[in-house]
Every structure is written in C-alpha cells, then in structure tokens.
Structure 1
Amino acid sequence: MATFATSDQLLVIIDPAARQRDGESVRIAKDVLSAGATAKVCLPQGPEEFARALGRRGSRRPVVVGDDRALVRAVTLLHRQRELAGCALSVVPVGVTALAESLGVPAGPVAAARAVLEGAERRLDLLVDDSDGVVLSALGIPPAPARAAAVEPVGVPTGRPWLRTRYRSLVRTLAPRPTRLTTVPAPGPSRLRVEVDGETVVDLDQPVEAVTVAPGGRGAATVEVRPLSGPGAEATPLLAEGRRVTVTGADFRYRADAVVSGPVRRREWTVREGAWGLTLPLPG
C-alpha cells in the first residue's frame, strides 16, 4: 500500500445527489478534509460538470463525496480516460453506500474523511466488459430476484472473509429498492451459456436461476451459477474461477454494482488485476 501525507492537495468533488440527500454529512466531510489538507472543493451540478472537474484535477488527489453511483461514475471516467493506473481515488460515502462499504471504506463522514487523510492506496481488481463498462464489486444475472435480500449465496470458500463480504454486498444490491431502475420485473429462469476462460460452465439446455460474478483477487473472477432447482429440491451451485467470463443468451439483463444494464444477448467480462486504486484505512 502507498500511504499519503496530510500535506497532499485534494480535489473534493461533492456529488449533487449527496448534497440533496444529506447536507449535514457533506458539511462534516468537507470540514474534516479541509482541516487536514489543502482542499479544493467542487460542486458539480450534473454528470458533465462532474466529469469536467475530475478531468481537470491536475496533481490533486480526487475525493468523491457521494453514493455508490458516484463512485462507479468516477472509476468509469478514469478508466475510459486511461488514467486509472496513475490515480488513487478516495471516497466519502453519503447515501446508498453498500458497494463502498463492501470494498472497505468506513461508514460515516468522519471516519471516511479520516481514512482519506491517513489511509493508504490499495490496488483492486476490476472487471471490464466488451462495451468498456466496469464492475467494481459484483454483477448478477438476473438483476433483481425478489428473494435475494434474505439469502446469502452458498459455496463461497471459507477463510476468505473479503469474498463473503462482496457476496453479501451483492445480495443487498440485488434487493429491490424504490427507484426507477428496480421497476424491471423479476424475470423467471434464464437459458444462458456461461463460459470461463473458454470452458463451458453451463449451456443453453440447462435453465439457471442466477449467475453471479465478482473480482476474486489475484487477477481472477469468481463465478457462481445456480441451475434451476425442482420443487422442494436445492440445486448445487456450479463454481468456477478465471480471467475471462462470457455469458450468452436471449435478451438478458444484469446488475453491475448499482446499475441495471441490458437487454443484451452477449457480454464478456475480463479481469484487470490491480487496475484501480482506492484509499482505505491502514490495517490494525
């Protein structure tokens, strides 16, 4: 991990949704950051101004104050500008922040702002799809099964708490929320071909209830496929790991982090090892 000095110059980008949702947390975060470092504060009014501010950061270390969508937006912009490798991103979560917290960012504006000032950069794997989209934590197909909020996927290897945390985050993310995106009706079983590094895990002749994919560390993705179970039966999940995951099927949707995408008939995700840096608290 690369540690930071409080003398670093910060570019604090406050997402407009965060200002509307919880102005008090935004104020606290801004005060803590400004007291501990030289901070330039930007108040973009929309996505275009957000992108412009991030692109003009110069030597300043960017800090996003906002929810999971703001974090994904920042990583996506830096990826598409091919600037992820040289940029350590920091975030103070405000709003819906299950993704940020699953990655190790502290909850609460004071703890998160102190981590920005006193923490260290950790390089994390990234899933990049064939349309140049990114996945920070996990993706799920179909996007919003109604019972996902109460069930943790089985088959997660023991002794790997960080992976269990990511899967629990995925379950929370898949749970329906009162937003426009979650008006997508819960689909029935899907017929999908899932391939990992060219090897077929499940083919179109086997209906599946769900597929989850997450960066598993060490440059590999962890894949879980749940075949359709019969009445009163519990299907054994199919598990695989690999660098490249390809899903093919008839007009399927998927939720990647906080966003539902599709329908598509084919999508391929490739793991980029250590592709992006996030400031996290020092161990211990």
Structure 2
Amino acid sequence: MAEVATFARSDQLLVVIDPAARTTDGESVRIAKDVLSAGATTKVCLPEDSDEFARALARRGARRPVVIGDDGALLRAVSLLHRQRQLAECVLSVVPVGGALTLAASLGVPLGAVAAARAALDGVERRLDLLVDDSDGVVLGGLRIPPIRDPAAPHGATAVGPGAGRPWLRTCQSLVRTLVPPKGSSPAAAQGPSRLRVEVDGTTLVDLDQPVEAVSVTPGLAGLAEVEVRPSSVGAEASPLRAEGRTVTVSGAHFRYRADTAVSGPVRRRTWTVGEGALRLVLPGR
C-alpha cells in the first residue's frame, strides 16, 4: 500500500448516492453531502438502479467519484470500473452509509459520515491490492470456501431477505429452517468437508485426496495473496496449511464461495489473480 497523492478542496467531485443509503440513513447522507459540497465543487447523482449507477460513473469526466453507500455500493463501483477497464485511471472515495460497512472499515475508510467526507476532500490516495477471478469478478476483502452464511438464511442464499428489520420473523424463519432441511440437501451435506485441489502459483498446496473444512484467500502485501487451507481432521485438530502467491486456483467438486459480501457458484474451477495496487482509494492521511 503506497501513498500517491493528496487532494485539494478545489477538486471537482462526482457524488453518487446509492439508493439504499438514502432509504437506510438519510440523515447521514445529508450530512456527508453538505460536507462535500462545502469543500469542493460537486455534482450530485441520485441513481435509482444499477444501470443508472453505472452510467453515472461512466460519465464522470474529470470529476473524482465519491460513492455514498454501504459495502455493496463500494463493490458495485469497483466492479463497474474494472469491467469498463477504467479502474487503473480512477481515484475512488467512499463515505460508508448503510447496514453492512465491515468491508469499508477493513480497508481503512472512516465509518462516520463527517470523517469519511473530510477524508474524501483532504485524504491521501493509497493503492490497494485486490483479486480478479477468471470470470472478471473482483474481490476486495477476501473469499472463503465454503461460504459463511447466516444460519437463518436458506441454503446457498445470502442473509438479506424479507425478514430484514423484523427480528421476530427472522427467529421464526430460523426455527423452521433448522427443523426442515432445504430440499435436496441435508445438514451433514451442507456442513461436511470438501475435496478440493488448491494450487498456488502452479504448486499444489492440497489435493483431492485430503478433505478440507475451509479455504480462505485474501489480498496480502506486495502483490501476493495469502492462502490458508484447513484440512479436515479426526481427533486432534489438523494444522492449517498456508502459502502466498500471485495466482490461486481451486478445483474439484462443485463448490460455492463467498467473495466479500456475495455468494457465488457452484463452479468446478476458479482462478484468482492478484491485481497489485489496482484499487486507488482515498483514505485519511497519516
């Protein structure tokens, strides 16, 4: 992670406000917008869907984009810029607003609306590594196989659903799903070990003859991904296997994986490559 440039308040900003942020915490959105508008020339966009979100970023011109939203909005912006092959030329700022902000915090973005907006105005550009898979997907924080999921969520689904914001309904859903396994699956099948081949820079770290409980891959430092494999064990817990490399390939039986906030798959093979310094994110100066 390297410091590249600081920014002046005279910069022109494109402020893209995610619709979910406006619904979830309109007050924080207003505060962030006021701070940004007081410190720079801003153009504010209020996209209503993902298509309008994409068009706003594509038409930013010379303006620096500032995304106001949660982890999903951050990932959407980075993924769009990557697919448009504009990520390398774009310096991105984020003001985290919404329910899921773990990823933004892990990258060093302040969680307060005022602090994050001030960082967007006066912060320092830092280049962060990320992972790009062979289907053009982007991973910022890390991925895990099998995916971590909310016990209240259906098998293979994310935790967001009709019960959001209603604890009593989530409790009922959780009880029903505990008592009635998803069709075509069983608790043992959903939680059992997998047989996967994990290769790091072409060298096999674990092969199909060794069942594994979990595989995790995270962007590390200096263009290397950190890989950890937890083998399945009987009796004493097996020591995790660790390696670092620029490419990671997982293959074997159909598997799902959680990359940042989304669950993907099933796939039989997937390769992730480190994009060294590919994300240009504005963070508070030290």
- Scaled to the shorter chain, the TM-score interval is 0.7 to 0.9
The runs of 5 or more residues in structure 1 that have no matched partner are 148-175
Report what 2:229 is aligned to: 225
**TM-score normalised over the length of structure 1:** 0.86
CA contact under 8 A between 1:246 and 1:268: conserved in structure 2? yes
Q: Aligned equivalents of 2:237 and 2:107: distance in 1? A: 30
Amino acid at match of 1:270: T
1:274 paired residue among 272, 277, 281: 277
Q: What is the deviation of 1:44?
A: 0.2
1:31 paired residue among 34, 58, 81: 34
Report what 1:155 is aligned to: none
Report what 1:136 is aligned to: 140
Identity %: 72
Report what 1:90 is aligned to: 93
Q: Deviations over 1:195-236 (max 9, x none)?
A: 0000000011111111000110101100000001224x2220
CA contact under 8 A between 2:219 and 2:274: conserved in structure 1? yes
The runs of 5 or more residues in structure 2 that have no matched partner are 152-156, 163-173
CA contact under 8 A between 2:149 and 2:158: conserved in structure 1? no
Report what 1:57 is aligned to: 60
Q: How many residues align?
A: 254
CA contact under 8 A between 2:124 and 2:283: conserved in structure 1? yes
Amino acid at match of 2:33: K
Q: Secondary structure at the match of 1:229?
A: coil
1:48 aligns with 2:29: no
Q: Deviations over 1:129-169 (max 9, x none)?
A: 0000000110000001679xxxxxxxxxxxxxxxxxxxxxx
2:17 paired residue among 4, 14, 18: 14
Report what 1:179 is aligned to: 160
Amino acid at match of 1:235: A
CA contact under 8 A between 1:145 and 1:187: conserved in structure 2? no
Q: Aligned equivalents of 2:97 and 2:191: distance in 1? A: 31
Amino acid at match of 1:14: I
Amino acid at match of 1:54: L
Q: Deviations over 1:13-72 (max 9, x none)?
A: 000011111111111111111111111100000000000000000000000000101101
**RMSD (CA atoms):** 2.0
Q: Deviation above 6 Å: which 4+ runs of structure 1? A: 181-185
Amino acid at match of 2:16: I
Q: What is the deviation of 1:188?
A: 2.0
Describe the shift of the 1:252–1:177 C-alpha distance in structure 2 as closer, same or farther (beyond 3 A). Answer: closer
Q: Deviations over 1:148-193 (max 9, x none)?
A: xxxxxxxxxxxxxxxxxxxxxxxxxxxx974149999853211110
Report what 2:70 is aligned to: 67
CA contact under 8 A between 1:214 and 1:223: conserved in structure 2? yes
Work out which of the two has the higher radius of gyration on C-alpha atoms and give 1 or 2.
Answer: 2
